[in-house]
């Protein structure tokens, strides 16, 4: 019964004239109008713009069917002393909610999380990453790629990126799941992903014996090749070991993944593809390519930093994604026939 009467404090807060007017309107409308839900129906997401008045909010809620009577909403906001306390944001509201529930939710700022949850898979390239963000509606792929080339960054290891790399930040945007709010800029995304890379990778590199032979850029490049070559997780350290063995002996890496990076497609390669002129083509150029060919995940980075000590110099893929490893080219030829039937 207490809710049926206005306390002296509430009347005093509203002001004598305002309190009388409010009482008159409540009498005319009836308390059931103030407190009753608008009806039934599914919850909706409603955005309250910054600077909106209670009257403007009421009109929007009426428009989407959350409240029946905008005037009653304004009165209810005054009744609870929340007229100037309704906060901007996106809310989940339903027609089945009472005026009290709606007003208290808006005044408490209980907004829904509108951040885009974006997952960047291991092995994606910069253009693919840009396309993913474009699909989430944050910005275009072109805006992302432009920012990646022009952005100024404080990380010392980026100074080791050679001038002949195809894309400066290829391999350095750490694959993970991120949350970004609408309106996030490509620059903020790039800084966030690089900060994640820095937090995860540089401590591992700092304690790795490989740092005596290779700089971080070379490690990330090796890891990216392992990422694109390996399918089975347990094979990553062994594949890394094979490539390090070939480097040590002065052999061409002959990684199909580097050729796929050059021609811009995955799948079957033809002999003509292996002859495409590019510093990234490890079938015709010795050593590591100028830079990473994708963003390696943590497992591939760990494999590049701590490869398996293996006697193998060759491998060929089976149909299930696993590989047959060989010590000599003669063994490798036999493995190819076994794996492919040729």
Residue 312 three-state SS: coil
What backbone torsions phi and psi does residue 317 show, to the nearest 5 degrees?
-85, 140
DSSP states along 227-259: HHH--SGGGHHHHHHHHHHHHHHT-----HHHH
Residue 15 has pLDDT above 50, yes or no: no
Does some domain include residue 69?
yes
Residue 18 three-state SS: helix
> Domain total for the chain?
2
Lowest-pLDDT choice from 24-38, 82-96, 270-284, 322-336: 24-38
pLDDT at residue 33, rounded to an integer: 56
Task: Report whether 305 contacts 226 (CB < 8 A).
Answer: no
Residue 2 has pLDDT above 50, yes or no: no
Residue 284 has pLDDT above 60, yes or no: yes
Residue 39 has pLDDT above 80, yes or no: no
The residue assigned the tokens 């980075």 is: 301
CATH number at residue 24: 3.30.1490.480
Lowest-pLDDT choice from 22-36, 56-70, 84-98, 291-305: 22-36
Same domain assignment for residues 67 and 140: no
Does some domain include residue 276?
yes
Residue 4 has pLDDT above 80, yes or no: no
Q: How far apart are CA 276 and CA 284, in angstroms?
A: 8
Same domain assignment for residues 231 and 149: yes
Same domain assignment for residues 207 and 180: yes
What backbone torsions phi and psi does residue 184 show, to the nearest 5 degrees?
-60, 140
Task: Report whether 211 contacts 160 (CB < 8 A).
Answer: no
Same domain assignment for residues 170 and 73: no
Residue 48 three-state SS: strand
pLDDT at residue 11, rounded to an integer: 38
Domain end (from 81, 108, 135): 108
pLDDT at residue 34, rounded to an integer: 58
pLDDT at residue 8, rounded to an integer: 32
Q: Which helix (H) or strand (E) holds 274?
A: helix 271-274
Identify the band that residue 14 occupies on the pLDDT scale cut at 50, 70 and 90.
very low
Nearest to 293 by CA among 237, 222, 216: 222
Q: What is the dihedral of CA 130, 134, 140, 143, to 10 degrees?
A: -30
Q: Which residues pair with 90 in a beta bridge?
A: 47
pLDDT at residue 196, rounded to an integer: 96
Domain limits at 46? 2-108
pTM given for the model: 0.74
Residue 264 three-state SS: coil
Burial of residue 297 (number of CB atoms within 10 Å: 0-12, 13-18, 19+): buried
pLDDT at residue 6, rounded to an integer: 34
**5 vs 114 pLDDT, higher one:** 114
Q: What percent of the chain has pLDDT over 70?
A: 89
Same domain assignment for residues 122 and 170: yes
Lowest-pLDDT choice from 120-134, 174-188, 234-248: 174-188
Domain end (from 47, 75, 108): 108
Does some domain include residue 170?
yes
Decide the pairing of beta strands 44-48 and 177-180: unpaired
Does some domain include residue 329?
no
Same domain assignment for residues 176 and 288: yes
Contacts for 95 with CB less than 8 Å, ≥ 6 apart: 37, 38, 39, 40, 41, 65, 66
Does some domain include residue 145?
yes
pLDDT at residue 247, rounded to an integer: 97
Decide the pairing of beta strands 44-48 and 323-326: unpaired
Same domain assignment for residues 130 and 177: yes
Domain end (from 108, 127, 154): 108
Same domain assignment for residues 199 and 243: yes
Give the burial string for 82-112 (b: 16+ CB within 10 Å, else e).
Answer: bbeebbebebebbbebebeebbebbbeeebe
Does some domain include residue 320?
no
Same domain assignment for residues 227 and 130: yes
Count the neighbouring beta carbons within 10 Å of the beta carbon of residue 48.
20
Does some domain include residue 326?
no
Contacts for 9 with CB less than 8 Å, ≥ 6 apart: none
Per-residue pLDDT, averaged over 245-274, amounts to 93
pLDDT at residue 28, rounded to an integer: 54
Q: How far apart are CA 216 and CA 204, in angstroms?
A: 10
Same domain assignment for residues 102 and 147: no
Does some domain include residue 229?
yes
Q: How far apart are CA 244 and CA 308, in angstroms?
A: 10
Same domain assignment for residues 300 and 193: yes
């Amino acid at each position: 019964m207490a809710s049926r009467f206005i306390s002296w404090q509430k009347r005093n807060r509203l002001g004598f004239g305002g309190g009388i007017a409010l009482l008159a309107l409540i009498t005319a409308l009836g308390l059931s109008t103030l407190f009753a839900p608008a009806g039934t129906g599914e919850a909706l997401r409603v955005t309250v713009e910054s600077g909106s008045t209670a009257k403007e909010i009421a009109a929007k809620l009426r428009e989407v069917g959350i409240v029946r009577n905008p005037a009653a909403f304004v009165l209810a906001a005054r009744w609870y002393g929340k007229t100037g306390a309704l906060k901007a944001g996106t809310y989940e509201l339903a027609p089945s909610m009472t005026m009290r529930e709606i007003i208290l939710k808006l005044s408490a700022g209980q907004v829904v999380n509108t951040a885009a949850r974006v997952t960047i898979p291991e092995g994606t390239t910069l253009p693919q990453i840009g396309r993913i963000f474009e699909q989430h509606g944050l910005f275009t792929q072109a805006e992302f790629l432009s920012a990646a080339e022009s952005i100024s960054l404080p990380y010392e290891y980026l100074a080791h990126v050679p001038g002949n790399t195809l894309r400066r930040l290829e391999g350095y945007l750490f694959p993970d799941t991120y949350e970004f709010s609408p309106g996030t800029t490509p620059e903020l995304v790039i800084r966030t992903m690089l900060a994640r890379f820095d937090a995860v990778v540089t401590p591992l590199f700092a304690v790795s014996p490989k740092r005596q032979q290779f700089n971080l850029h070379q490690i990330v490049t090796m890891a990216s090749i392992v990422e694109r070559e390996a399918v089975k997780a347990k094979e990553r350290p062994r594949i890394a070991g094979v490539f390090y063995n070939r480097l040590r002996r002065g052999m061409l890496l002959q990684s199909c993944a580097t050729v796929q990076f050059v021609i811009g497609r995955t799948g079957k390669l033809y002999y003509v593809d292996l002859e495409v002129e590019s510093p990234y083509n490890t079938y015709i150029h010795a050593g590591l390519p100028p830079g990473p060919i994708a963003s390696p995940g943590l497992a591939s980075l760990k494999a590049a930093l701590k490869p398996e000590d293996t006697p193998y110099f060759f491998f060929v893929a089976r149909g299930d994604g696993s590989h047959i490893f060989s010590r000599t080219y003669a063994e490798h030829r036999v493995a190819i026939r076994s794996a492919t039937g040729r």
